[in-house]
Chains A and B, each alone.
Chain A
């Protein structure tokens, strides 16, 4: 009797030991390496994944995603990743060749939401005929500035993460659902905040064409952009800049909204010229942890607050 008990006990100890070894090793193996491109994507991924995945964000806070210059260590991260979440639709233009070269498994999030073409939501702007060199009907990638799109993203994320890590499927689903709640709450809050602005005040002038989806959802008009392009890697001609000055003056727009990750020199020139203020928004990147926009939800709250303050005054 004793011997059997001892044997069983030993077997259990051994089994437990093996379990520990395999579990430890297995966790290291089964915890997926998830790479996100922008800090915003990274935050949303973190909200869904929790701590069940090893999360890496490629772009440091404050980076302009249009002009990010990848280095060899970025290529390495892409190659090692189990999955890469990117915005896509042409946002991370400088990474595209690297995606191909490293054979990374890239999930583009933007194509999972209804995309807007750039010139469709510029139709009221008489800058229209000055878009030389821009292919008409190019998709605007800045989809995350409409919380409804981020809600759609969470569904994609929960699905993809579950594919990668089936054991965590329920974990991801729960987290995603909870985050969707927060996002709906955010959306209502935004509607409420913006309600004090009458239509004639809902005019947006930005440093480049970044607020298209926000404007579309919350019924703003995009009057124009200092760099009349979806990317920051372009220059306005002197005439385009002059026209924008005229437009701003004519319509009485009180502010130019500038992305935190972009050199503001030209926007400041416009602001000085048209005698308006420049207001800093966090549009393509979170701030660092000490700033006002360390998560997506706080980013949206900050931006909406700044927009309301800038546009309600005059």
Chain B
């Protein structure tokens, strides 16, 4: 019986997969708390899709070498985050229309670029759905760096982030740097998107960003509790997902997301907040 739990982790590649999944889930849950509270889910998804061209360029330039791809992903994510902040402020279109247009365009650009190599199906699948079995020690260090930066930033700025999420007008009357904080939040979303790239891929990053914090939201009365529960849900999803993927032989990324969704549904059943519309 105990073998069920220990067997997967007798292989270092599985240990690395687990660490990557755990880091990505925790970071996404922390940043995702603000994404959910501020109704930024669509923007988060758009950001995840918009890194595909950067990933494609990195892939083509580095001939598939993964470190190059990761750095290009990060650079593109940062650029997209800042661009989205600017577009949302300036545009005459409704914000979700503008975001939708950018999302689709970037995604198409990414696939177009990748398709210039003639046999791209496998690599594209990895970018879209993750390739957690191939995480290298170097990749893990990059992830630890990114995750650490995210945790530190949130720890330092949690009150400010809470304030701009709850009452942006108050933030302005208190003369807080609202725009800078909003951009910082977008940059953190960018970091978590890159973190999630290898674990669940571009297509499922939204799930890691939104589902565990939404679970926390249903059960918590304070933001700190919501975030803690979100992280707990994310961690549980990551670990369970890895086990299920190993023993049942299904892809790891989707397994993690399905567990997270199941936890959300359980919370939905237990919660008294059922009536309120989630700010998604």
Contact = CB atoms under 8 A, between A and B. Distances in A.
Physical contact A–B (CB less than 8 Å):
yes
B11 interface: yes
Query: Which applies to chain B's interface (DSSP): helix, strand, loop or mixed?
Result: helix
Interface stretch (B34-42, B118-126, B149-157): B118-126
A130 B246 CA distance: 12
A66 B115 CA distance: 15
B68 to A, nearest CB: 13
B265 interface: no
B247 interface: yes
A10 to B, nearest CB: 57
Contacts, number: 78
Interface in B98-112: none
B249 A69 contact: no
B64 interface: yes
A238 interface: yes
Nearest to B247: A239
Nearest to A266: B134
A242 B11 contact: yes
B257 interface: no
Interface in A16-72: 59-60, 63-69
A70 to B, nearest CB: 9
Given A235-B251, A238-B133, A69 B118 contact: yes
Interface stretch (B12-20, B219-227, B271-279): B12-20
A226 to B, nearest CB: 10
Contacts of B75: none
Contact of A263 (B64, B136, B242): B64
A73 to B, nearest CB: 12
A70 B177 CA distance: 52
Query: Which applies to chain A's interface (DSSP): helix, strand, loop or mixed?
Result: loop
Interface string B130-147: 010111100000000000
A269 B119 contact: no
Nearest to A227: B122
A135 B82 CA distance: 49
B110 to A, nearest CB: 15
A67 B252 CA distance: 22
Contacts of A262: 122
The 6 closest A-B pairs by CB, nearest first: A64-B119, A237-B249, A67-B121, A265-B134, A67-B119, A238-B246
Interface of B: 8, 11-14, 17, 64, 66, 115, 118-123, 126, 131, 133-136, 242, 245-247, 249-252
